[in-house]
Amino acid sequence: NSTSAWSLTPIRTFTPPKMPFSAYAMSTSASIAGARTPPARTRRRASVAGSRVASLVAVGAPNRPTTTQATQLRTRPQPRRAASLRVEAASGERVAVIGEALWDSLPAGLFLGGAPANVACHLNELGREATVISRVGDDELGREVLRRLQGRGLATDAIQVDTGDIPTGFVVVTMENAMPSYDIVQPSAWDAMDPTDDLVASCAGAVVVYGSLAQRDARSRAAITAAANAAAKRVFDINLRKPFIDPELCVEHARGCWLLKLNDEELPEMARWLGLDVDGVDAKELAFATFNALDCEMLCVTRGGDGAALLTKKAGWMEHPGFQVSAIDTVGAGDSFLATLLDRLLEGMAPEVALERACRIGAFVATQQGATPRHDAEGIKALKAK
């Protein structure tokens, strides 16, 4: 599905109010990892007095083990990684993911996050290389992003480093019944991605995966538009995050894409933006109407713990009910779902097989802490469908 003739017009810029806490302070400290924050109107400025950036070596991980604990860890049998089932992806299509790379501050600690970076990590777990395109600050959190991605086997050559004073992206995530809510620091370095020749070359002829959040700033919007225009196939994961929602932008990027992913709350929003009748229309009918209006090759609707549906031009409509799991942390579950669905579709697998596998991996990730856990093949295989 070539997009060489596809282009976007400039979209108006919307600047929300500044977040009521210091992005700079957060970018220089790991001491707030795991801290719960009160609602935005009553949140106090995060205290970082006496913190040490050297503690970042333990970001998203428990404290350093004792000598006895370390010995036990070395001798304990480790779970078999799912990636070992298929070491190398057969499909020769290149994948590039572009957007936010950031730190999620969860109750359990700091974890590498951002939907594009999450997708890339999960693709790597599945044996498929992906180019990560983003921007980090010239700070300790930014350097740790690069180290963590490299530690996951991902190249970081396409990640820009801000030469000014914009800090690395940071998000405070609060959990309620395993469901997250987000406070996203602005500005963040990924807001200032530059549409360089190298960035465009990384996306030329590739399958480019991106969303709407990273386009909240005109600079990164220009970079993502350039990447999308260079793509052979566009995968748009709308991923709405209030207050950074631009209906015009979302509709324009959704039109004609190879794969559009929405959740069951975003689907009626998209339908309304298209001027479609939503009241009294069931989800399947709404998906078909949206699909036809946007002329996508494929449209996927995720339903949280209730699985997902996939609509394609060639195979039509299919659904999966999901898997029986006790969710611990759903951050990143949708990203792992998308990575798996994309990987299997690029492999040429039947859409219904790809959908089942994507639901399985997404359910597994929801049982783990953080957005990018290692894939445990045995744990994934043991899951039971509803």
pLDDT tens digits, one per residue of 284-334: 999 999 999 999 999 999 999 999 999 999 999 999 999 999 999 898 999
**% the chain with pLDDT above 90:** 68
Distance CA 172, CA 21 (A): 10
pTM for the whole thing?
0.78
Q: For residue 175, give the 3-state DSSP assignment.
A: strand
pLDDT at 91: 60
**Tell me, what DSSP letter sits at residue 111?**
E
Distance CA 90, CA 113 (A): 27
- Residue 101: count of CB within 10 angstroms of its CB: 32
The token pair at 141 is 């959190």
Whether the per-residue pLDDT at 256 is higher than 90: the answer is: yes
What confidence tier does 343 reach under pLDDT thresholds 50, 70, 90?
very high
Whether the per-residue pLDDT at 50 is higher than 60: the answer is: no
- Count CA atoms within 13 Å of residue 114 on its CB side: 29
**Phi and psi for 66 in degrees, rounded to 5?**
-70, 170
Could you tell me the CA-to-CA distances from 49 to 30, 52, 207 in Å, in that order? 11, 9, 45
Instruction: Report which residue type is found at 242.
Output: K
Q: Are strands 179-184 and 169-176 parallel, antiparallel or unpaired?
A: antiparallel
Quick: pLDDT tens for 345-355. 999 999 999 99
Mean pLDDT of 129-158: 97
pLDDT at 62: 35
pLDDT at 89: 45
pLDDT at 104: 87
Whether the per-residue pLDDT at 51 is higher than 60: the answer is: no
Per the DSSP assignment, residues forming a β-bridge with 320 are 308
Query: End-to-end distance of the chain based on CA atoms, in angstroms?
Result: 34
Quick: pLDDT tens for 164-186. 999 999 998 887 877 777 789 89
CB 367 within 8 A of CB 382: no
- Residue 247: count of CB within 10 angstroms of its CB: 15
Residue 288 makes CB contacts below 8 A (sequence gap 6+) with 311, 317
Which has more confidence, 77 or 358? 358
Whether the per-residue pLDDT at 10 is higher than 50: the answer is: no
Query: Of 345, 360, 114, which Cα lies nearest the Cα of 207?
Result: 345
Phi-psi region of 221 (alpha: psi -120 to 50; beta: other; left: phi over 0): alpha
Mean pLDDT of 90-105: 89
